[in-house]
Structure 1
Amino acid sequence: MEKLVFEIQINASPEKVWSVLWDDISYRQWTTAFAEGSFYQGTLEEGNIIKFLDPNNNGMFSRVEKNIPAKEIKFLHLGEIYSGVEAPQDWGEATEAYILEENDEGTKLKSEIQTPAEFKGFFEDKFPKALGIVKNLSENQL
């Protein structure tokens, strides 16, 4: 398992950044960095299963392990989805967390990823782009 950490400083409140991360319209915008047309199905309550999908119904499914609005959310990735069919994977502690820390300049957004080695390059390429879009939306959206 590889641990990756990505951080970006955003000149906006944690509440604004949280809204950009998880409101449907802005979520679809910033996740284009991973796959055009990305969206999620489900609700973000702790214990719920969420499906992260592309327009072809491919993606992954995960359990919400922790949700403290405007502060932290953590997902445990359980498996992949191919054409809408769930395929459980034995990834162990494959997690993805978003941590928002308020500071004098606004919010530091930190993403901590525990990933199998085969996905490391993908995340290293895509995550900085995704966080840049979150920053842009958070600082420039009304």
Structure 2
Amino acid sequence: MKKLKYQIEIDAPAEKIWDILWNEKTYSQWTYYFSPDSNMVTDWQVGGKTYFTDSSKKNGMVSTIERIEEPKHLIFKHIGELHNGVEDVDSEKVKAWNGSLEAYYLEENNGKTTLKVEVDSNDEFKDMFDNGFNKGLEVIKNLSEN
């Protein structure tokens, strides 16, 4: 697995960007380029459950929060898939990427913030992540600066 890295400078405080990233109303706007109807449901607990799903909330990824310090960083560990509401954490397909990390880092300096994203990925998903994060980070920037 490779670690893919993305970064953008935003003229806004980290707290505002954190809210744009994880607020239910804006989350689907910046993740649109991964899935037009994406949702995130989480208990916000380290070791708890987080689901990245489609609009049915029955299909998507099963993850957990590895580390969180609002508004500085949030690291997810992906542990499985959700199919028709059933969690799969044991199949061979899932084992190929189980344990991969997706990390968000916000570094504020004088009211401006650098948002960095790091994602563990197989080659087959690189283009999807490149497209999704490059476009999605621009949406976060626009929402945060306006």
Q: 1:117 aligns with which of 120, 123, 126?
A: 123
Q: 2:140 aligns with which of 127, 134, 142?
A: 134
Mark the CA change 1:93 to 1:4 in structure 2 (over 3 Å): closer, same or farther. Answer: same
Write the distance in 2 (CA, Å) between the matches of 1:43 and 1:92.
Answer: 20
Mark the CA change 1:92 to 1:60 in structure 2 (over 3 Å): closer, same or farther. Answer: closer
Write the distance in 1 (CA, Å) between the matches of 2:52 and 2:118.
Answer: 17
**Please, which runs of 5 or more residues in structure 2 have no aligned partner?**
none
CA RMSD in angstroms comes to: 1.3
Q: How many residues align?
A: 140
What's the TM-score, normalizing by structure 2?
0.90
Q: Tell me the residue number matched to 1:76.
A: 77
Q: Tell me the residue number matched to 1:26.
A: 26
- 1:128 aligned partner, one-letter code: N
Give CA-to-partner distance per residue, 1:78-106, whole Å, 9 cap, x none.
11222222222212441100000012361
Contact 1:33 1:130 survives alignment (8 Å): yes
Write the distance in 2 (CA, Å) between the matches of 1:105 and 1:128.
Answer: 22
- 1:82 aligned partner, one-letter code: H
Contact 1:93 1:114 survives alignment (8 Å): no
How far apart are residue 47 of structure 1 and its match? Answer: 1.3
Write the distance in 2 (CA, Å) between the matches of 1:35 and 1:51.
Answer: 14
Write the distance in 2 (CA, Å) between the matches of 1:120 and 1:32.
Answer: 17
What's the TM-score, normalizing by structure 1?
0.92
Contact 1:10 1:105 survives alignment (8 Å): no
Give CA-to-partner distance per residue, 1:32-76, whole Å, 9 cap, x none.
121112111122221111000011432101010000001000000
Contact 1:11 1:139 survives alignment (8 Å): yes
**Which runs of structure 1 show a deviation greater than 3 angstroms over 4 or more consecutive aligned residues?**
none
**Please, which runs of 5 or more residues in structure 1 have no aligned partner?**
none
Q: 2:113 aligns with which of 107, 114, 117?
A: 107
Q: Tell me the residue number matched to 1:97.
A: 103
